[in-house]
Amino acid sequence: MSEGKKVAVVAIGGNSLIKDKQHQTVQDQYKAAKETAYHMVDMIEAGWDIAIGHGNGPQVGFILRRSEIAHKVEGMHELPLDVCGADSQGAIGYALQQNIQNELKIRGIVKPVTTVVTQVRVDPTDPAFLKPTKPIGTFMEADEAEQRKESLGWNVVEDSGRGWRRVVPSPLPVEIMELEAVKALIAAGVITITVGGGGIPVIQTDDGIIGTAAVIDKDFASAFLANKIDADMLLISTAVEKVALNFGKPNQVDIDQMTVAEAKKYLDEGTHFAKGSMEPKIKAIVGFLEQGGKEALITNPENIGRALKGETGTRIVP
C-alpha cells in the first residue's frame, strides 16, 4: 500500500462490545468500544495504518428481536437479515469511529476515521447454502417455526432443548464490493472500519447484486480483506491473551508462535480449538498466510500494544 507505511487489518469480535448479560445496552457497548478504541490508537501511535473489521452477532440478534416484537405487537414489517447487517455496521461503526476520533484528539494525532457500509459477494453455489448452520433470531415454539418455514421458506432447527430457531448459511467471501474505495481510503491514511459483521452478504444476479440471507464469518472476511489490500499483518483481537493447545484442560499449553504447518496439524488433530470460537480464527489466518500474508497475531485488546512488540500474544507465520 502506501510507501513506508505498515498496514494491519484488525478483526474485533461483536461479543467484545458486550462484556456480560448485565452490560448489553447501547451505552454499555459504547463504553466497551471506547476501551477497544484506546488500544487501536496505541497501534496508530506506533505507526500502523489500520482497517478494522468487526463481528455483529449479538447486535444483529437484538435488531431481529426488536423487529419480531414490533411485528407481533404492532404489525410492523419485519426486517430482512441483510438490512439488519447494514444497520449493525452503521451503529457499531459509529461507536468505534467516534471513540477512535476522541482518543486521537486526546493524543494530538490528526488522522481521519470513517466507516464504510460494506457488501461482500458470496457464491450462491457455495456448499454452505445446502447446509445452513448459523442460528439467528429468537427462540420459537414448534408451531411458529413450522409456520415460518412454510410461509417464509426459513430453515429451522431445534436448538439444544431451548426451542426452535432459524438457521442461515455461512458462505465464504468471494469479493468485497467496496474494495477500491477501501483501498483508496487506506492509501490516503484514513482509519477505515469495514467488512462489519463479515460484510453484508450479496449475490450476483442477472439484474445486478442483491442481498441474501446469510452470515459471513468476520474472521474469514477480515483475512480476505487483508489479502486483497496486501496488509502487513492480520491481527485478530479476541477474549484470550494467547492461543492454547488443549484449551481449558489440565494439560493446557499457551503458544507464543506457530507456523502454518503447525497450525494445520493442530487443526487436523481437532481437539485444541473450540469449533465456534478459536477454530475459525486459526483457519482464517492459515488462509491469509497461504495466500501470501506475512504474519498474523492473536491476542486480547488490552495486550495489543505488548503483542506488537513481541512480548505476548500468539504470532503465526508462514
User: Which residue in 15, 155, 227, 300 is the catalytic one?
Assistant: 15
Among residues 14, 137, 196, 293, the one annotated as catalytic is: 14
161 is catalytic: no
Residue partners of 41: CB distance under 8 A and separation at least 6: 100, 103, 104, 107, 109
The active-site residue out of 56, 137, 199, 281 is 281
Among residues 218, 283, 303, 313, the one annotated as catalytic is 218
Strand blocks (E) in the chain: 6-12, 48-54, 113-115, 119-122, 134-140, 155-158, 164-168, 173-176, 191-193, 200-205, 208-211, 233-237, 244-245, 253-254, 257-259, 295-299, 314-317
Q: Is 223 helix (H, G, I), strand (E, B) or coil?
A: helix
**CA angle, 10 as apex, 272 and 196 as ends, to 5°?**
100
Catalytic (active site) residue 5: no
Q: Examine the residue annotation and report whether 309 is marked as an active-site residue of this protein.
A: no
Active site residue 14: yes
* Per-position b or e across 302-317, b if 16+ CB within 10 A of its CB: ebbbebbeeebbbbbe
Active site annotation includes 218: yes
Candidates 31, 34, 111, 134; catalytic one: 134
CA dihedral 1, 297, 239, 220 (to 10 degrees): 60
Which sequence positions are flagged as catalytic?
14-15, 134, 218, 281
